[in-house]
Homo-oligomer: A and B are copies of this chain.
Amino acid sequence: MTTSQETVVLSGHIIDSLILAKVLDTILIMGGTFDLEEVRIGKTREETSRARIVVRAATAGLLNDVLKAIQPHGAAVERESDCRTALAPADGVLPEDFYATTHLPTQVRLRGRWIEVEGIEMDLGIAVDDQQPAARAIPMGEVRRGERIVVGREGVRVVPLERPRERDVFGFMESQVSAEHPHGHVVADVAARMLRLRDGRRNGQPDSKVLLAGGPAIIHTGGREALTWLIEQDLIHVLFCGNALAAHDLEADLYGTSLGYGLAVGRAVPHGHEHHLRTINRVRGIGSIDAAVRAGVVKDGIMAACIRHHVQVVMAGTIRDDGPLPGVLTDSVQAQAAMRAAIPGVGLALLVASTLHSVATGNLLPAAVPTVCVDVNPSVPTKLADRGTFQAVGLVMDAASFLNELARALGRAA
């Protein structure tokens, strides 16, 4: 009775990130066995560890399954070989058995050298140019017929995230939802990071942009002034939202209401529910939000602050929208592409009160970007983690309370 075997190597912070244990566990669960041929464990948190593991299974098929299962943990087959590739058979179609990315840093072996995959993001393919050599993550829809795409798992390795140096809320390997932890610390850590990033940005450091993706509950619950202030303080640099957040922000400016609820009087006003329609219609008449701000029709608020402070805004449309406002990207593929284009350089992501935008943005973010997901519904951060955005810290708060507390932590009066 024979078995197949293969030697794999794991290296990095494989102990304190639980990776060695998970790999061994996976082998056993799937029915394989192993020898730990060599384990060199780093004695400090800075030193990396390394293990060579001989994996055995009853059949070559099972062995292959096991190797596939442990490869995402960084277990590279020792007999290193170049990645295999195939040509895309048609526009918008990847070859069979294409390698599907995770959002962890990833390398492919091309002509004997390990090359970093650019633009990493989960659930994409990898297009390679073996002349350069170069590799980049590519959405299925953007593939062109004949492009060379990585297939199989050989010659691909992912690099587990290192635990960050800061001892803040982001310094953990797994996402956590904080319904029952004091929010103050999380907010304080986010604030501290935002200040560091603003400093970094002013000094030309890379990855110093702060992204906020948010839903209209920011307006409804009363967080509009705080978010406007954050933008005016140069603390937010990219905004992802939908038609509703923009429309309700503009409604608040033009009519003093949100969903028809009078913000000053504290109760629903007659026909207030029509205000967002009239707002959208008016801005459509003017032609653009930008023009409405420049013309002085829209005086204050989130959108006005974004325009005045050169915040990059991507507004994506949905089938719920009225109007929509000019500037809303109604095509979801185009909107996704615009969001994708705005991600490079982001060093902190705040996902606030929008399941759709939180999950969509989570899908686009590399695992290395510290992420906070704020929602009054605890299942939103949970869903985000289930969808793979494991780095997100969950915070169970309403949007206004979060933004008000964050702004106060950053020095806003009241």
Q: Name A's B-contacting residues (CB within 8 A).
A: 15-16, 18, 20-22, 24-25, 28-30, 33-36, 39, 41, 43-45, 65, 68-69, 89-90, 92-94, 96, 98, 100, 123, 140-141, 168-169, 177, 179-186, 188-189, 217, 220-222, 258-259, 261, 263, 266-267, 270-271, 273-274, 277-278, 280-282, 284-285, 316-324, 330-336, 339, 355-357, 359-360, 363, 376-379, 382-383, 386, 388, 396-398, 400-401, 404-405, 408, 414
Contact = CB atoms under 8 A, between A and B. Distances in A.
Contacts of A22: 18
Given A45-B28, A93-B285, A398 B400 contact: no
A69 B318 CA distance: 30
Given A24-B15, A281-B93, A405-B401, A356 B123 contact: no
A68 B16 contact: no
A394 to B, nearest CB: 11
Contacts of A185: 266-267
B41 A36 contact: yes
Contacts of A271: 68-69
A22 B16 CA distance: 7
A285 B183 contact: no
A3 to B, nearest CB: 12
Contacts of A34: 43
A207 to B, nearest CB: 23
Contacts of A324: 141, 332-333
Given A180-B259, A339-B319, A376-B179, A16 B28 contact: yes
Q: How many identical subunits does the complex contain?
A: 4
Given A123-B274, A355-B355, 5 more contacts: A93-B281, A179-B398, A186-B266, A321-B336, A401-B401
Contacts of A280: 140
Contacts of A20: 21
A318 B318 contact: yes
A322 B222 contact: no
A182 B261 contact: yes
B15 A25 contact: yes
Given A324-B333, A360-B320, A396-B376, A281 B98 contact: yes
A222 B188 CA distance: 13
Contacts of A382: 177, 179, 378, 382
Contacts of A21: 15-16, 18, 20-21
A18 B28 contact: no
Contacts of A184: 222, 400
17 contacts: A28-B44, A30-B270, A34-B43, A68-B271, A94-B281, A140-B284, A140-B323, A184-B400, A186-B266, A317-B331, A321-B332, A321-B336, A330-B333, A376-B397, A379-B379, A397-B398, A404-B405
Nearest to A314: B319
A388 B273 contact: yes
A74 to B, nearest CB: 15
B123 A320 contact: no
Contacts of A320: 356, 359-360, 363
Contacts of A360: 318-320
Contacts of A278: 98, 100
A199 B169 CA distance: 43
B274 A100 contact: yes
Of A29, A180, A333, A382, the most chain B CB neighbours within 10 A belong to A180
A328 to B, nearest CB: 8
A34 B285 CA distance: 40
A281 B271 CA distance: 48
A156 to B, nearest CB: 13
B284 A92 contact: yes
A319 B319 CA distance: 12
